[in-house]
Amino acid sequence: MKRTRTFLVGGTFLAVFVALAVAQALIERAVAQQGGIEAPRFEVDPFWPKPMPNHWILGQTIGVWVDEQDVVWIVHRSSATLADNERALELKNGECCAGAPPVLAFDAAGNLVRSWGGPGQGYDWPAGNHGIFVDHAGNVWIGGNGPGDSHLLKFTKDGKFLLQVGRPNARRGAPNAQGQPTYAGNSNDQQNFGRVAKIFVDPKANEAILADGYLNKRVAVIDATSGKMKRYWGAYGNKPDDTNPGPYNPNAPPARQFRNPVHCANLSNDGLLYVCDRANDRLQVFKPDGTFVRETFIAKQTLASGSVWDVTFSNDAQQRYLYVADGMNNRVYVLRRDTLELLTSFGDGGRQPGQFFGVHSLATDSKGNVYTTETWEGKRLQKFVFKGVGRVRAPHQGVVWPGTT
């Protein structure tokens, strides 16, 4: 009996000790959060989207947009970027797998609801499709950054062809010494483009704003109905110059022209245009007429593929926050939009949910959730669930796994 009492007393002390330790941990966490920075918080949803049918898999996934019904649209490069052992079903030497059609749409629950795209009659499908946008009329726009992609396309949501602006291979030059075709930018061309990276359609002005792009070094604005060029500009609102500026040097004065690629051009609700000058590690802000407003540099020491890949906005009416994808460092930055102050970031390199390998594009739905796509060998679409604005404990949060925010 004495031994039983001893066990009971010992067990009680142990329970009290554990409870105190848990309470202390909660207090320390609360204190840390109170001393942190207020910013939007996210958790990855490891179960979204749901598996696709037909043994379909994604290739390099290089565009995402969320339409007014919260349908998530992506464009990817399918079988062209899959190894033979990834598409054995197509090659008829195994049961798995096959590249999915280039354009895919998922509902809010993660179900695949539309699939189409690729070469067809009456239009030139891009050699390397790049970027997708669904406009206010429900039209789907697609750019391209393949060698001869000097055009862009518009379709209905069901994949019916509507419009092609520009013609392919418009910038093709004489073959080089090895007999391969060469291409040169012309950022003052009024009819064609130079590997358009992304498209944004302004419903008020009925204008399509182009990040143009991988060969040209400009923002171009066209009429969204006719495709006619209306205006264009380079960095700081200058007349664009296609001269090769040489390698990026983070310690040199800021370049007066964009470097390739000009990778995004997204318009905010209050009429400010955010342009990704990817290889210069900078984000430039303009008025829609090309007037320069301000700029900021992000991860300025990043070389090679640069740090500023894409932007999207928080879903509040004021769009207080700006989210920036960095495919080289594999994270998403959260900035205050009014000051461009960097608040925090999340993500890490890797292949598990919440990690990235070449995070490429971003989009936000009406609930504030953020969707990301990955290029290179990432080949993935992910959903990050908005958990409200609150205190974050670290400048870089790493993987935002459920229950850790």
Q: Are residues 156 and 27 part of one domain?
A: no
Task: State residue 404's pLDDT score.
Answer: 83
Report the number of distinct structural domains present in the chain.
2
Give SS3 for 405: coil
Both tokens of 83, joined, read 């190894």
Q: How would residue 35 be classed by pLDDT, with cut points 50, 70 and 90? A: low
Q: Domain range for residue 17?
A: 1-35
Q: How would residue 405 be classed by pLDDT, with cut points 50, 70 and 90? A: confident
Measured distance CA(249)–CA(251) in Å, rounded:
5
Q: Are residues 79 and 29 part of one domain?
A: no
pTM for the full predicted model: 0.91
Q: Would 284 be classed as within a structural domain?
A: yes
Q: What is the largest CA-CA distance in the chain?
A: 98
How are beta strands 331-336 and 342-346 bridged, if at all? antiparallel
| H or E segment to which residue 11 belongs | helix 2-34
Q: Pinpoint the alpha helices (H) of 35-120.
A: 88-91
**Arithmetic mean of pLDDT, 209-213:** 96
- For 67-119, how does the pLDDT look when each residue is reduced to its tens digit (9 = 90+)? 999 999 999 999 999 999 999 999 999 999 999 999 999 999 999 999 999 99
pLDDT over 90, % of the chain: 89
Q: Are residues 133 and 197 part of one domain?
A: yes
- For 238-263, how does the pLDDT look when each residue is reduced to its tens digit (9 = 90+)? 999 999 999 999 999 999 999 999 99
**CB-based contacts of 285: which residues, under 8 Å, 6+ apart?**
272, 273, 274, 275, 292, 293, 294, 295, 340
Measured distance CA(236)–CA(96) in Å, rounded:
50
Exposure letters 232-256 (e unless 16+ CB within 10 A, then b): bbbbbeeebbbeebeebeeeeeebe
Q: Are residues 138 and 260 part of one domain?
A: yes
- For 358-404, how does the pLDDT look when each residue is reduced to its tens digit (9 = 90+)? 999 999 999 999 999 999 999 999 999 999 999 997 899 999 999 88
| Tokens 């109170």 found at | 34
Q: Are residues 102 and 232 part of one domain?
A: yes
